[in-house]
Chains A and B, each alone.
Chain A
Amino acid sequence: MKALPLSAGALPAVASTTVRRVRSVRGVAVAFWWVLSIGCFAGLWEAAWAVGWADPLLLPPPHIFLAHFSDQAQAFSSSDVIGEVSTDSAYLALLTTIVASSLRVIAGLALGFTCSVGMGLLIRYFKPFGNITLPTITLLAPISPIAWLPVAIFIFGIGNPPAIFMVFISLFFVMTLSTISQIDAVSRTYLNVGAIMGASRRQLFLHVIIPAILPSLFMTLRMNLFGAWMVVLVAEATGVGSGLGQIVMLARNTFNSSLSFFTMTLIGLVGFLFDVALRQIQNRVLFWVPPSAVGRL
Protein backbone atom coordinates (compact mmCIF):
# COMPACT_ATOMS: atom_id res chain seq x y z
CA MET A 1 0.00 0.00 0.00
CA LYS A 2 1.15 3.46 -0.78
CA ALA A 3 1.40 5.67 2.26
CA LEU A 4 -0.04 9.16 1.95
CA PRO A 5 0.88 10.60 5.32
CA LEU A 6 0.48 14.27 4.46
CA SER A 7 -2.73 14.23 2.46
CA ALA A 8 -4.45 11.94 4.93
CA GLY A 9 -3.47 14.27 7.77
CA ALA A 10 -4.97 17.22 5.96
CA LEU A 11 -8.43 15.67 5.76
CA PRO A 12 -11.01 16.16 8.51
CA ALA A 13 -11.24 13.39 11.07
CA VAL A 14 -14.35 11.71 9.67
CA ALA A 15 -13.00 11.55 6.17
CA SER A 16 -9.68 10.21 7.38
CA THR A 17 -11.35 7.30 9.19
CA THR A 18 -13.13 6.47 5.95
CA VAL A 19 -9.87 6.70 4.09
CA ARG A 20 -8.26 4.44 6.65
CA ARG A 21 -11.07 1.91 6.34
CA VAL A 22 -10.92 1.94 2.55
CA ARG A 23 -7.20 1.50 2.76
CA SER A 24 -7.33 -1.41 5.19
CA VAL A 25 -9.99 -3.13 3.07
CA ARG A 26 -7.71 -2.74 0.10
CA GLY A 27 -4.82 -4.04 2.21
CA VAL A 28 -6.76 -7.19 3.03
CA ALA A 29 -7.58 -7.69 -0.64
CA VAL A 30 -3.94 -7.29 -1.60
CA ALA A 31 -2.86 -9.78 1.08
CA PHE A 32 -5.54 -12.21 -0.10
CA TRP A 33 -4.23 -12.21 -3.67
CA TRP A 34 -0.66 -12.57 -2.47
CA VAL A 35 -1.51 -15.66 -0.44
CA LEU A 36 -3.64 -17.10 -3.22
CA SER A 37 -0.99 -16.48 -5.87
CA ILE A 38 1.81 -18.08 -3.90
CA GLY A 39 -0.52 -20.80 -2.67
CA CYS A 40 -1.45 -21.76 -6.23
CA PHE A 41 2.17 -21.79 -7.33
CA ALA A 42 3.29 -23.95 -4.42
CA GLY A 43 0.14 -26.08 -4.72
CA LEU A 44 0.77 -26.92 -8.36
CA TRP A 45 4.34 -27.84 -7.53
CA GLU A 46 3.25 -30.04 -4.64
CA ALA A 47 0.63 -31.65 -6.87
CA ALA A 48 3.24 -32.36 -9.51
CA TRP A 49 5.31 -34.04 -6.81
CA ALA A 50 2.31 -35.97 -5.42
CA VAL A 51 1.44 -37.50 -8.80
CA GLY A 52 5.11 -38.25 -9.40
CA TRP A 53 5.89 -35.78 -12.18
CA ALA A 54 8.40 -33.78 -10.17
CA ASP A 55 11.37 -35.86 -9.09
CA PRO A 56 11.97 -34.95 -5.41
CA LEU A 57 15.70 -35.13 -6.00
CA LEU A 58 15.70 -32.63 -8.86
CA LEU A 59 12.61 -30.52 -8.19
CA PRO A 60 11.86 -30.99 -4.48
CA PRO A 61 8.55 -29.23 -3.67
CA PRO A 62 8.47 -26.50 -0.98
CA HIS A 63 7.49 -28.80 1.89
CA ILE A 64 10.67 -30.76 1.30
CA PHE A 65 13.20 -27.97 0.75
CA LEU A 66 11.76 -25.86 3.54
CA ALA A 67 11.34 -28.79 5.96
CA HIS A 68 14.91 -29.30 7.02
CA PHE A 69 15.52 -25.70 7.78
CA SER A 70 18.28 -26.32 10.28
CA ASP A 71 19.98 -28.84 7.98
CA GLN A 72 19.90 -26.30 5.21
CA ALA A 73 21.29 -23.66 7.48
CA GLN A 74 24.30 -25.91 8.12
CA ALA A 75 25.42 -25.28 4.57
CA PHE A 76 25.87 -21.61 5.39
CA SER A 77 28.50 -22.28 8.01
CA SER A 78 31.85 -21.42 6.63
CA SER A 79 33.16 -24.27 4.55
CA ASP A 80 36.36 -24.97 6.47
CA VAL A 81 34.43 -26.27 9.49
CA ILE A 82 34.03 -29.99 8.93
CA GLY A 83 31.47 -32.15 10.65
CA GLU A 84 28.39 -31.20 12.63
CA VAL A 85 27.80 -27.60 13.51
CA SER A 86 25.44 -26.58 16.25
CA THR A 87 22.04 -25.40 15.01
CA ASP A 88 22.40 -22.03 16.68
CA SER A 89 25.63 -21.17 14.99
CA ALA A 90 24.19 -22.48 11.73
CA TYR A 91 21.36 -19.98 11.95
CA LEU A 92 23.86 -17.30 12.76
CA ALA A 93 25.87 -18.30 9.70
CA LEU A 94 22.75 -18.13 7.57
CA LEU A 95 22.00 -14.65 8.84
CA THR A 96 25.61 -13.53 8.36
CA THR A 97 25.55 -14.75 4.78
CA ILE A 98 22.38 -12.85 3.99
CA VAL A 99 23.66 -9.72 5.66
CA ALA A 100 27.00 -9.98 3.84
CA SER A 101 25.32 -10.16 0.44
CA SER A 102 22.87 -7.42 1.36
CA LEU A 103 25.58 -5.06 2.52
CA ARG A 104 27.43 -5.54 -0.74
CA VAL A 105 24.31 -4.65 -2.66
CA ILE A 106 23.60 -1.63 -0.46
CA ALA A 107 27.19 -0.37 -0.65
CA GLY A 108 27.27 -0.82 -4.42
CA LEU A 109 23.91 0.86 -4.92
CA ALA A 110 24.74 3.80 -2.67
CA LEU A 111 28.10 4.32 -4.32
CA GLY A 112 26.73 3.84 -7.81
CA PHE A 113 23.79 6.16 -7.24
CA THR A 114 25.84 9.01 -5.78
CA CYS A 115 28.64 8.77 -8.30
CA SER A 116 26.42 8.48 -11.35
CA VAL A 117 24.08 11.29 -10.35
CA GLY A 118 27.13 13.41 -9.53
CA MET A 119 28.69 12.49 -12.87
CA GLY A 120 25.53 13.34 -14.79
CA LEU A 121 25.26 16.69 -13.04
CA LEU A 122 28.92 17.52 -13.70
CA ILE A 123 28.52 16.61 -17.35
CA ARG A 124 25.63 19.02 -17.76
CA TYR A 125 27.07 21.70 -15.46
CA PHE A 126 30.54 21.92 -17.02
CA LYS A 127 30.14 21.65 -20.75
CA PRO A 128 33.80 20.87 -21.56
CA PHE A 129 33.76 18.10 -18.97
CA GLY A 130 30.71 16.66 -20.68
CA ASN A 131 32.36 16.90 -24.08
CA ILE A 132 35.41 15.00 -22.90
CA THR A 133 33.62 12.25 -20.91
CA LEU A 134 30.26 11.66 -22.55
CA PRO A 135 31.46 9.79 -25.67
CA THR A 136 33.43 7.31 -23.55
CA ILE A 137 30.54 6.78 -21.16
CA THR A 138 28.17 6.25 -24.05
CA LEU A 139 30.54 3.64 -25.46
CA LEU A 140 31.07 1.83 -22.14
CA ALA A 141 27.38 1.82 -21.19
CA PRO A 142 26.26 -1.12 -23.36
CA ILE A 143 28.93 -3.48 -21.97
CA SER A 144 27.18 -6.05 -19.82
CA PRO A 145 28.22 -5.82 -16.16
CA ILE A 146 29.07 -9.52 -16.26
CA ALA A 147 31.84 -8.71 -18.73
CA TRP A 148 33.39 -6.50 -16.05
CA LEU A 149 33.79 -9.45 -13.68
CA PRO A 150 37.35 -10.36 -14.69
CA VAL A 151 38.30 -6.68 -14.50
CA ALA A 152 36.82 -6.51 -11.00
CA ILE A 153 38.94 -9.47 -9.94
CA PHE A 154 42.10 -8.15 -11.68
CA ILE A 155 41.77 -4.86 -9.88
CA PHE A 156 40.34 -5.85 -6.51
CA GLY A 157 41.22 -9.52 -6.11
CA ILE A 158 39.00 -11.45 -3.73
CA GLY A 159 36.67 -10.17 -1.03
CA ASN A 160 34.04 -7.47 -0.77
CA PRO A 161 35.50 -4.85 -3.15
CA PRO A 162 35.03 -6.77 -6.41
CA ALA A 163 31.40 -7.57 -5.53
CA ILE A 164 30.68 -3.97 -4.60
CA PHE A 165 32.46 -2.82 -7.74
CA MET A 166 30.23 -5.09 -9.80
CA VAL A 167 27.07 -3.54 -8.37
CA PHE A 168 28.58 -0.10 -8.85
CA ILE A 169 29.43 -0.74 -12.47
CA SER A 170 26.05 -2.29 -13.22
CA LEU A 171 24.48 0.98 -12.10
CA PHE A 172 26.98 3.66 -13.01
CA PHE A 173 26.69 4.00 -16.78
CA VAL A 174 22.94 3.48 -16.96
CA MET A 175 22.33 5.97 -14.18
CA THR A 176 24.73 8.55 -15.57
CA LEU A 177 22.99 8.52 -18.94
CA SER A 178 19.62 8.51 -17.23
CA THR A 179 20.62 11.53 -15.12
CA ILE A 180 21.60 13.42 -18.24
CA SER A 181 18.36 12.68 -20.02
CA GLN A 182 16.39 13.61 -16.90
CA ILE A 183 18.23 16.93 -16.68
CA ASP A 184 17.42 17.62 -20.32
CA ALA A 185 13.77 16.78 -19.66
CA VAL A 186 13.26 19.14 -16.71
CA SER A 187 10.12 21.15 -17.35
CA ARG A 188 10.77 24.39 -19.22
CA THR A 189 8.37 26.11 -16.83
CA TYR A 190 10.38 25.14 -13.74
CA LEU A 191 13.58 26.43 -15.34
CA ASN A 192 11.80 29.64 -16.33
CA VAL A 193 10.52 30.10 -12.78
CA GLY A 194 14.08 29.71 -11.53
CA ALA A 195 15.37 32.24 -14.06
CA ILE A 196 12.58 34.73 -13.32
CA MET A 197 13.28 34.45 -9.60
CA GLY A 198 16.88 35.33 -10.32
CA ALA A 199 18.57 31.96 -9.74
CA SER A 200 22.23 31.67 -10.68
CA ARG A 201 23.31 28.61 -12.63
CA ARG A 202 24.47 26.95 -9.43
CA GLN A 203 21.20 27.77 -7.65
CA LEU A 204 19.24 26.50 -10.63
CA PHE A 205 20.99 23.13 -10.36
CA LEU A 206 20.72 23.02 -6.59
CA HIS A 207 17.14 24.17 -6.06
CA VAL A 208 15.39 23.26 -9.30
CA ILE A 209 17.16 20.64 -11.39
CA ILE A 210 18.26 18.24 -8.65
CA PRO A 211 14.89 18.06 -6.87
CA ALA A 212 13.14 17.79 -10.23
CA ILE A 213 15.18 14.77 -11.37
CA LEU A 214 15.62 12.87 -8.09
CA PRO A 215 12.28 11.04 -8.06
CA SER A 216 12.68 9.53 -11.50
CA LEU A 217 16.32 8.69 -10.79
CA PHE A 218 15.15 6.83 -7.73
CA MET A 219 12.75 4.92 -9.99
CA THR A 220 15.70 3.99 -12.20
CA LEU A 221 17.56 2.87 -9.09
CA ARG A 222 14.67 0.64 -8.09
CA MET A 223 14.49 -0.87 -11.55
CA ASN A 224 18.18 -1.68 -11.37
CA LEU A 225 17.87 -3.29 -7.95
CA PHE A 226 17.29 -6.79 -9.26
CA GLY A 227 20.16 -6.39 -11.70
CA ALA A 228 22.37 -5.43 -8.75
CA TRP A 229 21.36 -8.60 -6.92
CA MET A 230 22.16 -10.60 -10.00
CA VAL A 231 25.71 -9.32 -10.38
CA VAL A 232 26.40 -9.70 -6.67
CA LEU A 233 25.38 -13.35 -6.84
CA VAL A 234 27.57 -13.89 -9.87
CA ALA A 235 30.50 -12.16 -8.19
CA GLU A 236 30.01 -14.23 -5.04
CA ALA A 237 29.69 -17.43 -7.04
CA THR A 238 32.98 -16.77 -8.81
CA GLY A 239 35.20 -16.25 -5.89
CA VAL A 240 34.39 -13.48 -3.48
CA GLY A 241 34.45 -16.17 -0.83
CA SER A 242 31.12 -15.89 0.92
CA GLY A 243 27.53 -14.89 0.40
CA LEU A 244 24.34 -16.24 -1.08
CA GLY A 245 25.93 -16.57 -4.51
CA GLN A 246 28.52 -18.90 -3.08
CA ILE A 247 25.80 -21.08 -1.54
CA VAL A 248 24.08 -21.33 -4.92
CA MET A 249 27.38 -22.50 -6.38
CA LEU A 250 27.83 -24.95 -3.50
CA ALA A 251 24.36 -26.36 -4.16
CA ARG A 252 25.25 -26.80 -7.80
CA ASN A 253 28.59 -28.48 -7.10
CA THR A 254 27.15 -30.85 -4.51
CA PHE A 255 24.03 -31.48 -6.59
CA ASN A 256 21.92 -30.39 -3.60
CA SER A 257 18.66 -29.34 -5.22
CA SER A 258 16.93 -28.71 -1.89
CA LEU A 259 19.63 -26.26 -0.89
CA SER A 260 19.40 -24.63 -4.28
CA PHE A 261 15.67 -23.96 -3.95
CA PHE A 262 16.05 -22.95 -0.34
CA THR A 263 18.63 -20.34 -1.29
CA MET A 264 16.49 -19.15 -4.18
CA THR A 265 13.64 -18.61 -1.74
CA LEU A 266 15.92 -16.53 0.47
CA ILE A 267 17.17 -14.48 -2.48
CA GLY A 268 13.63 -13.82 -3.59
CA LEU A 269 12.54 -12.73 -0.14
CA VAL A 270 15.51 -10.47 0.47
CA GLY A 271 15.19 -8.88 -2.96
CA PHE A 272 11.52 -8.25 -2.31
CA LEU A 273 12.26 -6.66 1.06
CA PHE A 274 14.82 -4.42 -0.60
CA ASP A 275 12.26 -3.21 -3.08
CA VAL A 276 9.77 -2.55 -0.29
CA ALA A 277 12.41 -0.60 1.62
CA LEU A 278 13.35 1.51 -1.40
CA ARG A 279 9.69 2.17 -2.07
CA GLN A 280 9.24 3.37 1.52
CA ILE A 281 12.20 5.72 1.17
CA GLN A 282 10.75 7.00 -2.07
CA ASN A 283 7.34 7.66 -0.49
CA ARG A 284 8.80 9.42 2.51
CA VAL A 285 11.70 11.39 1.14
CA LEU A 286 10.73 11.92 -2.49
CA PHE A 287 7.05 12.51 -1.82
CA TRP A 288 6.52 14.64 -4.92
CA VAL A 289 6.54 11.69 -7.32
CA PRO A 290 3.10 11.26 -8.81
CA PRO A 291 1.55 8.15 -7.18
CA SER A 292 1.10 6.47 -10.56
CA ALA A 293 4.86 6.48 -11.01
CA VAL A 294 5.60 4.88 -7.63
CA GLY A 295 4.04 1.56 -8.46
CA ARG A 296 2.03 -0.61 -6.13
CA LEU A 297 2.56 -3.89 -4.40
Chain B
Amino acid sequence: MDRPLSAKPPLIACRGVGKRWETAGGTVTALDGIDLLVDRREFVVFLGPSGCGKSTLLYLIAGLEQLTSGTISSGGAEVTGPGTDRGLIFQESSLFPWMSVGENVTFGLKLRGMGTDERRSLAADLLRKVGLADAADKRPDQLSGGMRQRAAMARALALRPEVLLLDEPFAALDVQTRSKMQDFLIEVWRESGASMLFVTHHIDEAVGLADRVVVFTARPGRIKSIVPVDLPRPRDPRSPAFHALSDHLTDLLRDEVDRAFAEQERVA
Protein backbone atom coordinates (compact mmCIF):
# COMPACT_ATOMS: atom_id res chain seq x y z
CA MET B 1 0.00 0.00 0.00
CA ASP B 2 2.90 2.32 -0.57
CA ARG B 3 1.64 5.58 -1.85
CA PRO B 4 3.87 8.17 -3.43
CA LEU B 5 1.49 10.95 -2.42
CA SER B 6 4.13 13.57 -1.91
CA ALA B 7 7.76 13.87 -2.68
CA LYS B 8 8.60 14.68 0.92
CA PRO B 9 9.80 11.77 3.05
CA PRO B 10 7.07 10.29 5.25
CA LEU B 11 7.10 10.85 9.00
CA ILE B 12 6.20 7.30 9.97
CA ALA B 13 7.07 4.37 7.75
CA CYS B 14 5.95 0.81 8.52
CA ARG B 15 7.40 -1.80 6.19
CA GLY B 16 6.34 -5.44 6.36
CA VAL B 17 5.50 -5.06 10.04
CA GLY B 18 4.39 -8.24 11.79
CA LYS B 19 3.80 -9.03 15.45
CA ARG B 20 3.31 -12.40 17.07
CA TRP B 21 2.42 -12.70 20.74
CA GLU B 22 3.74 -15.73 22.55
CA THR B 23 1.15 -16.61 25.16
CA ALA B 24 0.50 -19.57 27.39
CA GLY B 25 -2.20 -20.68 24.95
CA GLY B 26 0.19 -20.59 21.98
CA THR B 27 1.27 -18.06 19.40
CA VAL B 28 -1.11 -15.30 18.35
CA THR B 29 -0.35 -13.48 15.12
CA ALA B 30 -1.68 -10.01 15.83
CA LEU B 31 -0.29 -8.22 12.78
CA ASP B 32 1.00 -9.41 9.45
CA GLY B 33 2.66 -7.56 6.58
CA ILE B 34 1.67 -4.01 7.46
CA ASP B 35 2.95 -1.44 4.97
CA LEU B 36 1.98 2.12 5.79
CA LEU B 37 3.40 5.58 5.26
CA VAL B 38 2.15 8.55 7.26
CA ASP B 39 2.94 12.06 6.13
CA ARG B 40 3.75 15.00 8.32
CA ARG B 41 0.59 16.77 9.49
CA GLU B 42 -1.54 13.92 8.25
CA PHE B 43 -4.53 12.61 10.22
CA VAL B 44 -4.74 8.83 9.84
CA VAL B 45 -7.41 6.71 11.52
CA PHE B 46 -7.06 2.96 12.17
CA LEU B 47 -10.43 1.27 11.92
CA GLY B 48 -11.05 -2.39 12.51
CA PRO B 49 -12.90 -5.00 14.53
CA SER B 50 -11.86 -5.40 18.13
CA GLY B 51 -8.81 -7.62 18.56
CA CYS B 52 -7.44 -7.04 15.05
CA GLY B 53 -4.22 -5.49 16.32
CA LYS B 54 -4.83 -1.75 16.09
CA SER B 55 -3.50 -1.08 19.58
CA THR B 56 -0.61 -3.43 18.93
CA LEU B 57 0.43 -1.44 15.86
CA LEU B 58 0.18 1.81 17.80
CA TYR B 59 2.33 0.42 20.61
CA LEU B 60 4.88 -0.83 18.09
CA ILE B 61 5.11 2.63 16.57
CA ALA B 62 5.37 4.10 20.06
CA GLY B 63 8.28 1.76 20.71
CA LEU B 64 6.65 0.13 23.73
CA GLU B 65 6.62 -3.35 22.16
CA GLN B 66 9.12 -5.18 19.96
CA LEU B 67 8.04 -6.17 16.47
CA THR B 68 8.69 -9.69 15.20
CA SER B 69 9.19 -8.79 11.54
CA GLY B 70 9.63 -5.74 9.35
CA THR B 71 10.78 -2.27 10.31
CA ILE B 72 9.23 0.92 11.62
CA SER B 73 10.90 4.29 11.28
CA SER B 74 9.98 7.70 12.57
CA GLY B 75 11.43 10.82 10.99
CA GLY B 76 13.84 8.60 9.06
CA ALA B 77 15.28 6.90 12.16
CA GLU B 78 14.43 3.32 13.03
CA VAL B 79 12.18 2.93 16.05
CA THR B 80 13.87 0.90 18.77
CA GLY B 81 12.08 2.31 21.81
CA PRO B 82 9.95 5.20 23.00
CA GLY B 83 11.00 8.70 21.94
CA THR B 84 9.77 12.22 22.47
CA ASP B 85 8.96 12.52 18.76
CA ARG B 86 6.00 10.21 19.42
CA GLY B 87 3.36 10.96 22.06
CA LEU B 88 0.79 8.38 23.14
CA ILE B 89 -2.70 8.87 24.55
CA PHE B 90 -4.30 5.89 26.21
CA GLN B 91 -7.89 4.75 26.22
CA GLU B 92 -8.27 4.80 29.99
CA SER B 93 -7.29 7.60 32.30
CA SER B 94 -3.54 7.49 32.54
CA LEU B 95 -2.88 10.49 34.78
CA PHE B 96 -0.97 9.60 37.93
CA PRO B 97 -3.36 9.96 40.88
CA TRP B 98 -0.49 10.94 43.19
CA MET B 99 0.30 14.08 41.21
CA SER B 100 -1.73 17.22 40.65
CA VAL B 101 -2.98 17.79 37.13
CA GLY B 102 -0.25 20.38 36.59
CA GLU B 103 2.48 18.01 37.76
CA ASN B 104 1.10 15.31 35.50
CA VAL B 105 1.17 17.59 32.49
CA THR B 106 4.83 18.48 32.98
CA PHE B 107 5.97 15.04 34.13
CA GLY B 108 8.05 14.50 31.00
CA LEU B 109 9.83 17.81 31.56
CA LYS B 110 10.51 16.97 35.19
CA LEU B 111 12.24 13.80 34.01
CA ARG B 112 14.41 16.03 31.83
CA GLY B 113 15.40 18.09 34.84
CA MET B 114 13.29 21.20 34.32
CA GLY B 115 12.90 23.20 37.55
CA THR B 116 9.69 23.50 39.53
CA ASP B 117 8.98 27.16 38.79
CA GLU B 118 9.51 26.82 35.08
CA ARG B 119 7.31 23.75 35.01
CA ARG B 120 4.58 25.49 36.94
CA SER B 121 4.30 28.32 34.45
CA LEU B 122 4.54 25.92 31.52
CA ALA B 123 1.80 23.74 32.98
CA ALA B 124 -0.44 26.79 33.16
CA ASP B 125 0.21 27.53 29.46
CA LEU B 126 -0.33 23.95 28.36
CA LEU B 127 -3.50 23.58 30.38
CA ARG B 128 -4.87 26.86 29.05
CA LYS B 129 -4.38 25.54 25.53
CA VAL B 130 -6.53 22.52 26.27
CA GLY B 131 -9.18 24.58 28.05
CA LEU B 132 -8.25 23.53 31.58
CA ALA B 133 -6.86 26.85 32.79
CA ASP B 134 -7.91 26.37 36.43
CA ALA B 135 -7.10 22.71 36.77
CA ALA B 136 -3.37 22.82 37.51
CA ASP B 137 -3.71 22.30 41.26
CA LYS B 138 -6.59 19.86 41.10
CA ARG B 139 -6.26 16.15 41.53
CA PRO B 140 -6.98 13.96 38.50
CA ASP B 141 -9.98 12.36 40.21
CA GLN B 142 -11.58 15.79 40.47
CA LEU B 143 -11.75 16.05 36.66
CA SER B 144 -14.37 14.53 34.37
CA GLY B 145 -13.39 11.86 31.86
CA GLY B 146 -13.18 14.35 29.01
CA MET B 147 -11.09 16.76 31.04
CA ARG B 148 -8.71 13.98 32.01
CA GLN B 149 -8.17 13.08 28.37
CA ARG B 150 -7.49 16.72 27.56
CA ALA B 151 -4.95 16.85 30.36
CA ALA B 152 -3.37 13.69 28.94
CA MET B 153 -3.13 15.47 25.59
CA ALA B 154 -1.49 18.47 27.23
CA ARG B 155 0.99 16.08 28.83
CA ALA B 156 1.84 14.55 25.45
CA LEU B 157 2.04 17.96 23.74
CA ALA B 158 4.43 19.24 26.42
CA LEU B 159 7.19 17.22 24.76
CA ARG B 160 6.37 18.70 21.30
CA PRO B 161 5.88 15.37 19.54
CA GLU B 162 5.80 15.08 15.76
CA VAL B 163 3.05 12.51 15.91
CA LEU B 164 0.34 11.84 18.46
CA LEU B 165 -0.71 8.21 18.77
CA LEU B 166 -4.23 7.96 20.19
CA ASP B 167 -5.62 4.58 21.26
CA GLU B 168 -9.41 4.93 21.35
CA PRO B 169 -9.02 8.03 23.52
CA PHE B 170 -12.73 8.88 23.57
CA ALA B 171 -14.15 5.38 23.90
CA ALA B 172 -15.07 5.83 27.56
CA LEU B 173 -16.82 9.18 27.04
CA ASP B 174 -20.51 9.86 26.52
CA VAL B 175 -21.72 10.82 23.05
CA GLN B 176 -21.91 14.60 23.61
CA THR B 177 -18.50 14.82 25.24
CA ARG B 178 -17.07 12.62 22.53
CA SER B 179 -18.27 14.94 19.78
CA LYS B 180 -16.86 17.99 21.60
CA MET B 181 -13.57 16.20 22.06
CA GLN B 182 -13.38 15.39 18.36
CA ASP B 183 -13.73 19.08 17.49
CA PHE B 184 -11.16 19.86 20.12
CA LEU B 185 -8.75 17.27 18.75
CA ILE B 186 -8.95 18.82 15.28
CA GLU B 187 -7.97 22.17 16.82
CA VAL B 188 -5.04 20.58 18.65
CA TRP B 189 -3.98 18.89 15.44
CA ARG B 190 -4.08 22.16 13.47
CA GLU B 191 -2.27 24.14 16.12
CA SER B 192 0.42 21.63 17.04
CA GLY B 193 1.30 20.72 13.47
CA ALA B 194 1.74 17.12 14.55
CA SER B 195 0.52 14.09 12.66
CA MET B 196 -2.26 12.07 14.25
CA LEU B 197 -2.61 8.29 14.35
CA PHE B 198 -5.99 7.64 15.84
CA VAL B 199 -7.45 4.22 16.68
CA THR B 200 -11.20 3.72 16.81
CA HIS B 201 -13.87 1.18 16.02
CA HIS B 202 -16.46 3.93 15.48
CA ILE B 203 -17.09 4.49 11.79
CA ASP B 204 -18.54 7.99 12.18
CA GLU B 205 -15.61 9.03 14.32
CA ALA B 206 -13.26 7.80 11.59
CA VAL B 207 -15.07 9.72 8.84
CA GLY B 208 -15.34 12.80 11.01
CA LEU B 209 -11.63 13.00 11.74
CA ALA B 210 -9.50 11.32 9.13
CA ASP B 211 -7.56 12.38 6.06
CA ARG B 212 -7.26 8.65 5.41
CA VAL B 213 -8.94 5.69 7.08
CA VAL B 214 -6.90 2.50 7.31
CA VAL B 215 -9.29 -0.46 7.48
CA PHE B 216 -7.93 -3.60 9.10
CA THR B 217 -8.92 -7.20 8.56
CA ALA B 218 -9.84 -9.44 11.49
CA ARG B 219 -6.99 -11.35 13.09
CA PRO B 220 -4.32 -11.59 11.88
CA GLY B 221 -4.51 -7.84 11.31
CA ARG B 222 -3.68 -6.84 7.77
CA ILE B 223 -4.54 -3.68 5.92
CA LYS B 224 -7.72 -4.41 4.01
CA SER B 225 -8.06 -1.04 2.37
CA ILE B 226 -7.08 2.59 2.76
CA VAL B 227 -9.95 5.01 2.22
CA PRO B 228 -9.16 8.70 1.65
CA VAL B 229 -11.70 11.12 3.15
CA ASP B 230 -11.76 14.24 0.99
CA LEU B 231 -14.51 16.09 2.83
CA PRO B 232 -13.90 19.71 3.79
CA ARG B 233 -13.67 20.51 7.50
CA PRO B 234 -15.68 21.17 9.61
CA ARG B 235 -17.53 18.06 8.52
CA ASP B 236 -21.27 17.67 8.71
CA PRO B 237 -22.21 14.14 9.78
CA ARG B 238 -25.62 14.61 8.11
CA SER B 239 -24.25 15.43 4.66
CA PRO B 240 -24.80 12.84 1.90
CA ALA B 241 -21.06 12.60 1.21
CA PHE B 242 -20.44 11.77 4.89
CA HIS B 243 -23.14 9.10 4.74
CA ALA B 244 -21.78 7.63 1.56
CA LEU B 245 -18.36 7.24 3.08
CA SER B 246 -19.56 5.79 6.32
CA ASP B 247 -21.75 3.31 4.38
CA HIS B 248 -18.72 2.32 2.36
CA LEU B 249 -16.67 1.75 5.51
CA THR B 250 -19.54 -0.15 7.11
CA ASP B 251 -19.55 -2.55 4.16
CA LEU B 252 -15.79 -2.99 4.37
CA LEU B 253 -15.96 -3.67 8.08
CA ARG B 254 -18.98 -5.95 8.10
CA ASP B 255 -17.14 -8.90 6.53
CA GLU B 256 -14.32 -8.53 9.01
CA VAL B 257 -16.58 -8.31 12.02
CA ASP B 258 -18.40 -11.43 10.78
CA ARG B 259 -15.08 -13.20 10.39
CA ALA B 260 -13.95 -12.11 13.85
CA PHE B 261 -17.20 -13.46 15.31
CA ALA B 262 -16.93 -16.74 13.44
CA GLU B 263 -13.39 -17.14 14.73
CA GLN B 264 -14.44 -16.43 18.31
CA GLU B 265 -17.21 -19.03 18.06
CA ARG B 266 -14.82 -21.56 16.59
CA VAL B 267 -12.37 -21.02 19.43
CA ALA B 268 -15.08 -21.13 22.10
Residues of A within 8 A of B (CB): 6-7, 10, 189-190, 192-193, 195-200, 203, 207-208, 211-212, 287-288
Contact = CB atoms under 8 A, between A and B. Distances in A.
25 contacts: A6-B139, A10-B138, A10-B142, A189-B90, A189-B92, A190-B94, A192-B59, A192-B88, A193-B94, A193-B107, A195-B64, A195-B81, A195-B82, A196-B88, A197-B108, A197-B111, A198-B84, A198-B112, A200-B111, A207-B110, A208-B96, A211-B96, A211-B98, A288-B97, A288-B141
B64 A196 contact: yes
A44 B221 CA distance: 71
Contact of A196 (B82, B98, B139): B82
Contacts of A7: 139, 142
Contacts of B98: 211-212, 288
Q: Enumerate the 6 nearest inter-chain pairs by beta-carbon distance, A residue then B residue, closest first.
A: A288-B97, A197-B108, A211-B98, A288-B98, A196-B88, A189-B94
With a 10 A CB-CB cut-off, give which of B82, B112, B159 has the most chain A CB atoms: B82
Given A192-B94, A193-B90, 4 more contacts: A10-B138, A196-B82, A196-B156, A212-B98
Interface string B73-90: 000000001111011101
B97 A196 contact: no
Contacts of B84: 198
B107 A207 contact: yes
A192 B107 contact: no
B62 interface: yes
Nearest to B65: A192
Contact of B64 (A190, A192, A198): A192
A193 B138 CA distance: 20
Interface of B: 59, 62, 64, 81-84, 86-88, 90, 92, 94, 96-98, 107-108, 110-112, 138-139, 141-142, 155-156, 159
B106 to A, nearest CB: 10
Nearest to A206: B111
B90 A199 contact: no
Contacts, number: 58
A203 B111 contact: yes
A190 B88 CA distance: 12
Contacts of A208: 96
B72 to A, nearest CB: 15
B90 A192 contact: yes
A193 B97 CA distance: 13
B111 A198 contact: yes
B28 to A, nearest CB: 17
Contacts of A196: 62, 64, 82, 86-88, 156
Contacts of A189: 90, 92, 94
A200 B81 CA distance: 12
B82 A198 contact: yes
A208 B112 CA distance: 15
B164 to A, nearest CB: 11
Contacts of B155: 197
Nearest to B103: A207
A197 B96 CA distance: 13
A212 B96 CA distance: 8
B159 to A, nearest CB: 7
A84 to B, nearest CB: 57
Contacts of A207: 107, 110-111
Contacts of B83: 198
Nearest to A210: B98
Nearest to A208: B96
B91 to A, nearest CB: 9
A200 B64 CA distance: 14
Contact of A197 (B97, B138, B139, B159): B159
Contacts of B62: 196
B97 to A, nearest CB: 4
A288 B110 CA distance: 20
A98 B156 CA distance: 54
B108 A198 contact: yes
Nearest to B152: A193
A197 B158 CA distance: 10
Contacts of B139: 6-7, 287-288
Nearest to B112: A198
Nearest to B109: A197
Nearest to B138: A10
A203 B109 CA distance: 12
Contacts of A190: 94, 96
Contacts of A203: 111
Contacts of A212: 96, 98
Contacts of B87: 196
Contacts of B92: 189
A39 B90 CA distance: 54
B114 to A, nearest CB: 12
B156 to A, nearest CB: 8
A62 to B, nearest CB: 44
A31 B10 CA distance: 68
A116 B63 CA distance: 34
